[in-house]
Each structure stands twice: as C-alpha cells, then as structure tokens.
Chains A and B, each alone.
Chain A
Amino acid sequence: MKSIELSRSVLLVLGLCFSLQSFAQEACNAGDSRQRELQSQMMEASKTQPSVTQIIFKDYKLNETEAAEPCKNCSPPHPVVTNVNDIKGKILRYPHAPQLAFRDECLISANKNEAPTPQVSCKKNSAGKWQGTSSMGNDMCITKSFLKYQNAVISSFAGCAKIMGFEGIDYSSIYEKFSLESTFRPNYNSSNGVGSGQLVEIFIKDVQQNHRGVPFMKRIAQSTAPECEAAKIIAKKDLVNSPLRSDLCEFTRPGEGLERNVLYSLIGTETVWKKNLEPAMKDYLRAHVNHPKLSKIKTYVQTTAYGRGGIAEAKAAIRRLKGMTPDQFASTMEKPLRTRNGGLLNRYTSEIRARLNEIAARLPESISSIFKSAGGDACLTSF
C-alpha cells in the first residue's frame, strides 16, 4: 500500500516538473531543437497586455498544459468522427472557444512534411522595430503546443469571420491549403509566398483594396462580438496602415505576424468567393442548394482559386462544369482538367490530393481511414 502511495507521489512530482518545463523544453514536432525563436516569441506575446496572442491564450486555455494533470480519461480530446455526412451537416457551424477547429493529430502529421524553403527569423532592431531575415539556415523548432496555438488562431479568426457572415469560410479547405502551402510552418518565405498561408504580393494587395478586401476587414474591425476581440486588433491597425509583402515579420512572427497571415488568408478567400466565384456559380448553387456534394464542390473551387494562377483557373473550371450534376462536377474536379497549352485548370487540387495522401500515411488508423475519402473534413473536430 505504502509503495503505491510513494509511486503516486513520484508521478505527481514528475508531472508537476514536466508542466513547469513543458513550454521551454518541449520536444520539436519538426525543425531544429536549438532554434526556439517561434516558441519564445509566442510565449513573450502571450504575456504582453493587451495582445492578440494573450486573448487567444485565454480563450483557448493554452496555459493549462495537459501534462499538469494525470490522465483521468484517456479518450481523444474530441470525439472521433465516423460518418462523413455528419461533418457535412455541420459545415456551417463553428467551434466555440475553447474548442479547436482541427484535430491535433492532423496538424502534427501535416507539419512533418518538409520543403527546402527559406525561413524568416525576426529580431528587434535598435529602433525597436521587428526586422526579418530570410535564409535556408533558419530551420525553426515547431512544438506541439505551437501547433495548438496555430490551431487556436485559425479557430478564433474563422469563428469571428463566420459570425460576421463570411460565407466563403470552409474549415476543410483552410486545413488543406495550409497543409500544402506551409505545413503549418509560419515563417516559410519564398517567391511562392510568405507565412502559413504562403500569401503572394497580389493576394495581400487584394485584401487591402477598397473595392475588394477592405469592406470585409472593416466588418471585423467594427465588430462587437467577443469572438472577434483578437482579430479586430489587427484589422483596426491595418485599416490605418497596411503592411507590405516585404515586411516579412508582419506576416510571419508569432504575436501579430503569423496571426495577420491567417486573417489575410481568410479575408482574401472571402473576397475571392464573394467577388469572383460565387457570382459565377450563383444559379448553380441555388439550383442544387440541398445537394450533399455542394460543400465539396465549394471546397474544390475555393482551393483551386487559392493556388497559383488560381482565380482564373477556378472560374474556367466553373464555366466548364456548371452544366453537370453536382456528383459529376465533384468527380470531374478530382480528375486532371488539362488545357491545350499544357497546364491544368485544377492543378492545385491535384497537388493537395497528393499532399493529403502523404499526411494520411502518418495519421492514426481511426482518422486515416476517413481522411482518405473525406480529406480535410476528417480533421474537423465535432462542432
């Protein structure tokens, strides 16, 4: 009996020690364990008042580490989704904090993919301004708690966007795009784009145009909804002074860069949806409003538009396929749509499918079996 008591005490002490050291010593899911800049900037921002990161830490209870408490109920934190149709019916809903949008395993698995891409390191200069240097040597450590923070940022901002009536927000598409674009490494920077959403210059400009993204940015900045408390800090700032693509830290640094990247990705997606894609398929959406494949079609079209050359290709694909039934539309989008000049109208969706197959191979069996057919939908928590 005494030995049981003793081992319990030892376990408690070990648990406490682990919780105290968890953020500082946490193992990397990806990257170099000596390069902990992202983790430390996130922790620093979480202590700054008032800040985007602090609000998100509080809303999503990110200071409360799971390691602090012994495991009482070892089932997964979110219910495992077993029926794809269940998820489809819930696509218009959003998870309320502290519930996260994506299953941890999906981010952990996606983050294991590596690409030889320069990464941005941000340091404060003598004037106190963040300055970024982009180099192949900056292979930053990404911990599981940092992935959870990114999950919380997306959950928070996408929830705000949903409340503000953004109709183009599709959680499955967000997961798939970020998995392909950056594998949730927020400081990737190349000619293909910057940060988690790999934003290209024209995409950033699009968000900042009065006739395009600004009305959506304003909606967030003027919101009184508690769900928008964090997002509106960035939206308000950017309505006064918009950063440029070349201001690397403004789109990568945990604190306000990584977060801006997510916000711009959402606003840009909504802009393209409302201004370009939805008008091109309004009649189709109306005619098939209750069809179960409609949300899949929306995901395909949105992800295509997000990719390189995207919007024109997505619109061309709509032009080609809107005469088809939703089942045919969705299945045709899964095949290569070749053009006479050697391109593909749906190149981006093909790239995403290839990436999802790599991710599926690393996922636990309980998710991967659904993931193979449902893609990003299988990564959504039940909400």
Chain B
Amino acid sequence: MSYFILIFALSIPLSLFGQSGASELEKNYQQFEQMKEDFFKSVINKKNLKPKLGALIRNLDELFEKTKDLELKKSKSDLSPEANQMALDLVLLEPLEQLADSKMDKKACKEAAHLNDLYESSPDDKADNRTKPVEKVIKKVCSK
C-alpha cells in the first residue's frame, strides 16, 4: 500500500512539470508569433528595416533558445513542434535579413524576392501563404 502511495506522490510533480512545461512551450510560441505579427503590422521602410528587423530577430532568437531549454527539461530526445516551428519561421525571415544587409537597390530587391520564392517552392505549400508577409515587406521597401 505504502509503495503505491509513494509512486502516486512521485508522479504528481512529474506530471505537473509535464503540463507546465508544455504550457510554457505554448506560451513561448504564442509570444513568438505575437512578436512576428507586430513586426509585420508595423510601418516598415528602407530606413527602419535594418534596426527593426535586427531587434525582432534578437528577440525571436532569445525565445527560441528559451524554448529549446524547456524542451530539454521536458524530454531528452523529443523535439517539440513549437521549437521546430520557430526554427522554420526564423528561416522564413532570411530573405528580409538578406535585404536589410544589402544596398536595397534593384538587384538586391530581386534577389531577396527570389529567395523568398524559393522558400515556397511547391504549389502544395502555397495554401499556407507562409511567404506572403515577407513578400509584402519586400514589395513595400523596394517600391520606394
């Protein structure tokens, strides 16, 4: 009887950590998404792209690292869908990073747009519209 009580007592904090770990992952992910959304809703132009994007990437990277630490505490081998999504979302911002680091001339604009197109290479993926927000920013920055 005492054996069962012991197992029960031990399992409570473990399962609680599992739940709080999972909700913490979700919280981080939501925060990550919100930061991205705020950036895309803001006014972006040639002048402020580099500082604004730099700040965004720093914050997103920080959250990504935090999420990986949480993930490690939760399980040594399983990779969480939240951190996988964050890794993908960070890659999808690369065409903007490339543009921000360039002269932002016609050639640089064309190359950034091409990289963005490459990140959405299949007609099947187009339903996701995952490259649309970046495409809009490239157009905005490059049209002026």
A contacts, CB < 8 Å to B: 191-192, 200, 202-203, 205-206, 209, 211-212, 276, 307-313, 315-317, 319-320, 332, 337-341, 343, 345
Against A, the Cβ 8 Å flags (1 = close, 0 = not) of B103-127 are: 0000000010010011111111100
Report chain B residues within 8 Å CB of A192. 122-124
Distance, CA A209 to CA B115, complexed state (A): 11
Against A, the Cβ 8 Å flags (1 = close, 0 = not) of B84-117 are: 1101101110100000000000000001001001
**Additional A-B contact list (20), CB under 8 Å, known A200-B121, A315-B91, A337-B79:** A202-B118, A202-B121, A276-B118, A308-B122, A308-B124, A309-B125, A312-B92, A315-B94, A316-B90, A316-B91, A319-B87, A320-B84, A332-B79, A337-B84, A338-B81, A338-B84, A339-B88, A340-B81, A340-B84, A343-B128
Q: Which residues of chain B (46-68) have a CB below 8 Å from chain A?
A: none
23 contacts between A and B (CB under 8 A): A192-B123, A200-B121, A200-B122, A205-B117, A206-B114, A211-B111, A212-B114, A307-B122, A308-B121, A308-B124, A312-B119, A313-B88, A316-B84, A316-B88, A319-B91, A320-B87, A338-B84, A339-B85, A340-B29, A340-B81, A340-B82, A340-B84, A345-B88
Residue of A nearest to B111 (CB): A211
Report chain B residues within 8 Å CB of A200. 121-123
**Distance in Å from the Cβ of A94 to the closest Cβ of chain B?**
28
- Decide: B123 and A316 in contact? CB cutoff 8 A: no
- Decide: B81 and A339 in contact? CB cutoff 8 A: yes
Report chain B residues within 8 Å CB of A206. 114, 118
Report chain A residues within 8 Å CB of B138. none
Report chain A residues within 8 Å CB of B141. none
Report chain A residues within 8 Å CB of B125. 308-309
**Distance in Å from the Cβ of A304 to the closest Cβ of chain B?**
12
Closest 3 CB pairs of A and B: A308-B122, A340-B85, A316-B88
Residue of A nearest to B85 (CB): A340
Report chain B residues within 8 Å CB of A209. 114
Report chain A residues within 8 Å CB of B84. 316, 320, 337-340, 345
**Distance in Å from the Cβ of B4 to the closest Cβ of chain A?**
35
Report chain A residues within 8 Å CB of B114. 205-206, 209, 212
**Chain B interface SS verdict (over half):** helix
Residue of A nearest to B117 (CB): A202
Report chain A residues within 8 Å CB of B119. 309, 311-312
**Distance in Å from the Cβ of B48 to the closest Cβ of chain A?**
25
Report chain A residues within 8 Å CB of B94. 315
**Distance in Å from the Cβ of A346 to the closest Cβ of chain B?**
10
- Decide: A309 and B121 in contact? CB cutoff 8 A: yes
- Decide: B118 and A320 in contact? CB cutoff 8 A: no
Residue of B nearest to A323 (CB): B68
Known A-B contacts A200-B122, A309-B125; the reply to A316 vs B87 at CB < 8 A is: yes
**Distance in Å from the Cβ of B37 to the closest Cβ of chain A?**
14
Residue of B nearest to A313 (CB): B88
Report chain B residues within 8 Å CB of A203. 121
Residue of A nearest to B107 (CB): A211
Report chain B residues within 8 Å CB of A338. 81, 84
Distance, CA A311 to CA B118, complexed state (A): 7
Distance, CA A192 to CA B21, complexed state (A): 40
- Decide: A311 and B121 in contact? CB cutoff 8 A: yes
**Distance in Å from the Cβ of A16 to the closest Cβ of chain B?**
50
Distance, CA A368 to CA B18, complexed state (A): 42
Distance, CA A249 to CA B119, complexed state (A): 27
Interface centre among B29, B88, B94, B128 (most CB of A within 10 A): B88
Distance, CA A312 to CA B117, complexed state (A): 11
Distance, CA A245 to CA B24, complexed state (A): 47
Report chain A residues within 8 Å CB of B124. 192, 308-309
Against A, the Cβ 8 Å flags (1 = close, 0 = not) of B5-37 are: 000000000000000000000000100000000
Report chain A residues within 8 Å CB of B29. 340
Report chain A residues within 8 Å CB of B83. 320
**Distance in Å from the Cβ of B74 to the closest Cβ of chain A?**
15
Distance, CA A313 to CA B121, complexed state (A): 11
Interface centre among B79, B90, B111, B123 (most CB of A within 10 A): B79
Interface centre among B91, B111, B125, B128 (most CB of A within 10 A): B91
